[in-house]
Amino acid sequence: MIVTLTANPSVDRTVTLAGPLQRGAVQRLTSVTSQAGGKGVNISRAAVAAEVTTLAILPAAPADPFVVSLGEDSIPCLPVGPAGPVRTNLTVTEPDGTTTKLNSPGAEATPALLDALAEAVLAQATEAAWVVVAGSIPPGVPAGWYAELMAAVRHTPARIAVDTSEAPLVALVDGLPGSAPDLMKPNGDELASFTGADAATLESDPQAAARAAATLVDRGVGAVLATLGAHGAVLVTAEGAWHATPPPTTVVSTVGAGDSSLFGYLLGDVRGDAEPDRLALGVAYGSAAAGLPGTTIPHPSQTRPDLVEVRPLELPSGAPT
């Protein structure tokens, strides 16, 4: 089972423009879609499509329309309260695939809510193959809360994957190795934020991205899956490093692509695939998501891991090889 925690869930509303975004102008929309989302929820949604047992843990009232929507989509959900209203995030998509995101902060979390969420995660972790902690933290949550939760989950049988950014990511890295997860999924910007490297260089240079990711493995992280946009992704573990190039993709919306990549890797792991094959499946999922509108999460039949090229990377002496 894959258990996901989405501490700051969102109703993801996507508007598609007929032309390029023009500030200060009145523009017509070609479509508007809404979906219950958030990084962890997206991963649980992908798991359901792949027929992998999952449970999405999130702060919400049982009767909240967000929870009702997940039920209608057959996504197993454990709402934890008390919680405020679920936030709404707006994504503006242009015809060339350019995506602009406007994210609201979400309801403020109380210490009681954080304790309840942690208790729920730890209880479910006893039966889980993976616990995925993903997304931002709501207002009122200490930056180190994810790091503390990682340390607690490490005492359960479950492995831990984390995908976050900004202050929670910094706190997690600062807490290594005590907070080390089994898998981290940064993008180029996030990898640069704690290595001091240039984000554009990391995204365009897989070798540089792998060297940066290796610093995390050196500090106790089990594996680093660094997504690099159109340049694919790199995977670094104690056993080696690999770069995967995605198949040709017409980008429609990049929202949810990183979440899909993370799920693809986890799916490969659940299936018992070798590390390069997990990477290929992750990149196949990410590129498939980028070719779909809004926050649409791909079905396995929409992915083409056979078109993903994977090559090994050499790391300097002293780094994982």
CA distance 307 to 287: 11
Q: What is the CA radius of gyration of the chain?
A: 19
- 139 cis-preceded (ω within 30 degrees of 0): no
Residues in the chain: 321
CA distance 224 to 212: 10
CA distance 217 to 173: 11
Burial category of 200 from C-beta neighbours within 10 Å (exposed 0-12, middle 13-18, buried 19 and up): exposed
Which of the residues 64, 182, 205, 259 is marked catalytic? 259
Give the residue from 307, 289, 302 showing the smallest Cα distance to 97: 289
The CA–CA distances, whole Å, from 185 to 188, 252, 273 equal 10, 22, 18
Residue 218 annotated among the catalytic residues of the structure: no
Long-range contacts of 57-63 (CB under 8 A, 24+ apart): 57/3, 57/4, 57/5, 57/6, 57/117, 57/120, 57/121, 57/124, 58/5, 58/6, 58/7, 58/9, 59/7, 59/9, 59/83, 59/107, 59/109, 59/113, 59/117, 59/138, 60/9, 60/86
Task: List active site positions.
Answer: 259
